[in-house]
A and B are shown apart, each in its own frame.
Chain A
Amino acid sequence: DGGITQSPKYLFRKEGQNVTLSCEQNLNHDAMYWYRQDPGQGLRLIYYSQIVNDFQKGDIAEGYSVSREKKESFPLTVTSAQKNPTAFYLCASSTGVEQFFGPGTRLTVL
């Protein structure tokens, strides 16, 4: 089945640690996106990539980093510089017209 997978579903991190969220898609989409979702704030764009080996910052990129070495994969690293990382993270890929979303990762900083 084609789709987007995110792992893990739940992730716990100690303060000061970096953590990487996985996003894989087998839809053959060129564009991929990372969003952060907080209560009452909708989805906010962290980073996006429209082609392999290229990516752009979104509205809230500070404290995050990404890579796009393969078309299928777009991992997100939450660094210790991110002051308030506890949130729900959604990955998406796009045909250029519609975005398809993964199931999300809930990150909690202890």
Chain B
Amino acid sequence: AQTVTQSQPEMSVQEAETVTLSCTYDTSESDYYLFWYKQPPSRQMILVIRQEAYKQQNATENRFSVNFQKAAKSFSLKISDSQLGDAAMYFCAYDPGNQFYFGTGTSLTVIP
């Protein structure tokens, strides 16, 4: 079975500081995609960042970057210079090619 584990139900970070959200997944596939989605209080799901498993280089989108460790099946999200607008639920997702598998989410609080 494909599973995605987010072991941190809640995290908090001081504004302007850096926080890392953890995600591990289980798969026997060699080629797949990994994603981080953000869900603010509006509940609209927003793509934060995407990583292709065949790429060794870690993906980066402005203040958001990932640490992708394929052998360890780990995919953590680092948010730098945290802003109040970063407060949300963050979901890690794994896609082997035909459907997405989501983790249970991490609720991020940003402290002013």
Contacts and interface: CB of A to CB of B under 8 A. Distances in A.
A and B associate in one complex = yes
Interface of A: 33, 35, 40-45, 48, 50, 58, 88, 90, 92, 97-101, 103-104
A98 B43 CA distance: 18
Interface of B: 9, 33, 35, 42-45, 47, 50, 91, 93, 98-100, 102-105
Given A101-B45, A103-B43, A104-B44, 4 more contacts: A33-B99, A42-B91, A45-B99, A100-B47
A104 B99 contact: no
Contacts of B35: 98-99
Nearest to A37: B43
Contact of B100 (A40, A45, A50, A103): A45
B104 A48 contact: no
A41 B104 contact: yes
Contacts of B44: 101, 103-104
Contact of A42 (B43, B50, B99, B103): B103
